[in-house]
Amino acid sequence: MLQNILGRNLPHTLVGRTSRKHQVSQQTQSIHNHLLHTALREKLGDHVKQAGSLVAPDRLRFDFTHHEALTTELLDQIEAGVNRYIFENYHLNIQFKPLQQAISEGATALFGEKYADTVRNITIGDPDPFSNELCGGTHVEDTGDIGVFLITSEGSAAAGIRRIEAVTGRGAYELIRQRSALLRETAHLVSTSFERVPQKVQGLLDELNNSRRRILTLSEDMVSLEFNRIMDDTISAAGVNVLTSKLNEATAETMRQMIDRARQNRPKNAVAVLGSIIDNRPIIVAGVTEDLVDRGLHAGELVKHVAQILGGGGGGKATIAQAGGKDASKLEQALDSVPAWVETKLTNLDK
């Protein structure tokens, strides 16, 4: 607010210390703030008030009052609104007025800002201004002088305060060049034109997802075949049939399906605990038949015991439960501990 404090004419020596590039950047950023404020109020409502800003060469940060995050669609509309004001090349009407007169004529003042008795009042748009604000910054003569405006991010700054960051002028041009280069490289990598990059990428993603589904189906089939071979390889513990096995690359869902199959194969007097390693982390699924649940066994307690050896935890229902761990190297040791746990547990329960 240096203009308001010292008056309209600043010493030439002070102005001379500011580089031409920096001065032009400051002029453009100040008007970008005005236009962004207007576009936000146009799209979100009159409750939007400026709550702080940072003006730097080729970029800006603008804080404003609003209660929720902005959608991508809204951000696109706000960005387009600012650029529309720029391209329509409105002239800035800059006047010095008594503070109360400017406010009574509809000028927007920042909450908490201290103003001198005489203020700088900037309106944009004739004959009915769409922007009317008090500002002590330096400004261009016409909105068309300030160049392109691109929003780069939107997020929370504080409770009830949102923040938009943007690049402008030279910074916006550099960002466009970078994005154009990335698009050109992507188009080359997927062997298509600029315009067809989205369709080509979507097609490749569809192919990838189809391939993943096929791989998953084949993996499940292999796990199923492996499980069929070992399904009857049980150990007797306190008279209970206990099945434990490591299934290579089986997902948790696949192991739950195998547990269901084991319970169908042995609907009574059986416990099954299966393990797998996914992304170097062990996963355990345990199943207990209903008759053993009635005797006091609980699959959730069983997987917690196994998971402790693996440095993890888990739980679930009495008949089926799942756990995860950290130390995959101890998976076979953890599975080998199951028969002893079952025998000890049932022995204590039957006392």
Same fold yes or no, 2-189 and 232-349: no
Q: Which CATH architecture describes the domain 232-349?
A: Roll (3.10)
Mean pLDDT of 210-218: 91
The total number of residues shown for the chain amounts to: 351
| CB 296 within 8 Å of CB 323 | no
Maximal C-alpha separation, the chain? 99
Mean pLDDT of 244-259: 91
Which of 21-30, 62-71, 298-307 has the lowest average pLDDT?
A: 21-30
Task: Write down the pLDDT at residue 15.
Answer: 41
User: What does the pLDDT look like over 329-351, one tens digit per residue?
Assistant: 999 999 999 999 999 999 888 76
User: What does the pLDDT look like over 262-316, one tens digit per residue?
Assistant: 988 899 999 999 999 998 999 999 999 999 999 999 999 999 999 999 999 988 9
Q: Where are the domains of the chain?
A: 2-189, 232-349
153 vs 219, higher pLDDT? 153
Task: Write down the pLDDT at residue 4.
Answer: 34
CATH of domain 2-189: 3.30.980.10
Distance between CA atoms of residues 38 and 73, nearest Å: 17
Its sign, for the CA torsion 30, 34, 35, 37, is: positive
Query: What Rg do the C-alpha atoms of the chain give, in angstroms?
Result: 34
Element containing residue 283 per DSSP (H, E):
strand 281-288
Q: How would you class 115 by CB atoms within 10 Å of its CB: exposed for 0-12, middle for 13-18, buried for 19 or more? A: middle
Task: Write down the pLDDT at residue 29.
Answer: 58
Token pair of 20 as six digits = 């031409």
What pTM was computed for the model? Answer: 0.65
Mean pLDDT of 177-205: 95
Question: Which strands form 235-237's sheet, in the order they lie side by side?
Answer: 235-237, 240-246, 270-278, 281-288, 320-324, 313-316
pLDDT > 90 in the chain, percent: 61
Task: Write down the pLDDT at residue 57.
Answer: 79
Q: State how far Cα 308 lies from the chain centre.
A: 33
> End-to-end CA distance of the chain, in Å?
86
Question: Which strands form 131-134's sheet, in the order they lie side by side?
Answer: 92-98, 118-124, 131-134
| CB 66 within 8 Å of CB 45 | no
Mean model confidence pLDDT for the chain: 87
